[in-house]
C-alpha cells in the first residue's frame, strides 16, 4: 500500500477520487468538489490517493497539518476493497507520519456503524476526547453537526482541546466561506 499525493486538478486519478469522495460522504460532511480542487494548492492540506501493492487505486485520504498535529479530514476506502485491512494500514501510516500527533472527527455513537468506526479508531490508539464538539459546516448557510474529536495522544487538558477545536474550525472550515 502507498499514498500518492495529488497536487494537480487534472491528475489522471481525479475521476476515481471524485467518485469515491462524493459517494462516501454525505453532502453536509464534505466540500463541494470545486472547492476541494482549489485547495490542492493549500500548503497545509494534502489529498492522497491510496494505492494497493499493484498500484491500483483503492481509497483516498485528506489531511491537514495544524500546529504540529495532523488532522484527518476524510478517509475512504473503495467499497469493493473494504475488509482487506487497507483502512487500518492507512491510519497506521498516518499515525506514524504524524509522530503520534493525530486528530480527527468522528460521528457520535448512535448506531452499529458509528460504534464500529469509533472502535476501529480506538484499536489504532485514538481516544474520544471529553469535549463538546460541533463540526463546523462546509457551507456558511448550513448548521454544524454534533461530532466527537478523537486523538492520539489523548488531549486531556480542556484549554488545549478548545484551542485545537478552534484551530480546526478556523483553518479547515470557516476561512473558506
Mean pLDDT by 10 residues, the chain (177 residues): 96 98 95 96 96 97 96 97 94 96 96 94 96 94 95 96 96 93
Kindly report the CA angle at 7 between 4 and 12, in degrees rounded to 5? 70
Return the pLDDT at 161: 95
Radius of gyration of the chain (CA): 15
Q: Which three cell numbers stand for residue 52?
A: 494497493
What structural domains does the chain harbor?
2-176 (3.40.630.30)
Amino acid at each position: 500500500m502507498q499514498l500518492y499525493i495529488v497536487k494537480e486538478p487534472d491528475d489522471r486519478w481525479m475521476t476515481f477520487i471524485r467518485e469515491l469522495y462524493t459517494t462516501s460522504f454525505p453532502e453536509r460532511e464534505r466540500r463541494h468538489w470545486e472547492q476541494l480542487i482549489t485547495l490542492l494548492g493549500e500548503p497545509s492540506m494534502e489529498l492522497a490517493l491510496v494505492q494497493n501493492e499493484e498500484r491500483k487505486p483503492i481509497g483516498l485520504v485528506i489531511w491537514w497539518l495544524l500546529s504540529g498535529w495532523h488532522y484527518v479530514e476524510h478517509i475512504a476506502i473503495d467499497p469493493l476493497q473494504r475488509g482487506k485491512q487497507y483502512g487500518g494500514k492507512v491510519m497506521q501510516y498516518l499515525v506514524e507520519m504524524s509522530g503520534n500527533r493525530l486528530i480527527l472527527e468522528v460521528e457520535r455513537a448512535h448506531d452499529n456503524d458509528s460504534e464500529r468506526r469509533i472502535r476501529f479508531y480506538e484499536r489504532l490508539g485514538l481516544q474520544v476526547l471529553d469535549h463538546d464538539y460541533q463540526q463546523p459546516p462546509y457551507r456558511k448557510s448550513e448548521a454544524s453537526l454534533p461530532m466527537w474529536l478523537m486523538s492520539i495522544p489523548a488531549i486531556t487538558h480542556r484549554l488545549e482541546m478548545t484551542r485545537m477545536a478552534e484551530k480546526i474550525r478556523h483553518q479547515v472550515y470557516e476561512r473558506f466561506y
